[in-house]
Amino acid sequence: MSFIDAFEFNKAFERFDKLGLELVGTNSETGLYFVKDKIVKQK
């Protein structure tokens, strides 16, 4: 994971955290964000 990826992940993590969701991973190829117990499609 590069610095930019980590930075983007942290931004997304904070955004999901405000919604009460725990971000556990992302897939940049598909644009999917994986949160605990859910998969969220992000544009």
- Helix ranges (DSSP H) in 1-43: 3-18
Give the start-to-end residue ranges of the domains of the chain.
3-41
How far is it, in rounded angstroms, from Cα 25 to Cα 13?
9
Single-letter code of the amino acid located at 23: L
- The pLDDT tens digits of the residues spanning 1-43 come to 566 688 888 898 899 899 888 988 888 788 788 888 876 676 5
- pTM above the 0.85 mark? no
- Give the residues across from 26 on adjacent strands: 33
- The pLDDT tens digits of the residues spanning 20-30 come to 889 888 887 88
The whole-angstrom distance between residue 36's C-alpha and the CA centroid of its chain comes to 11
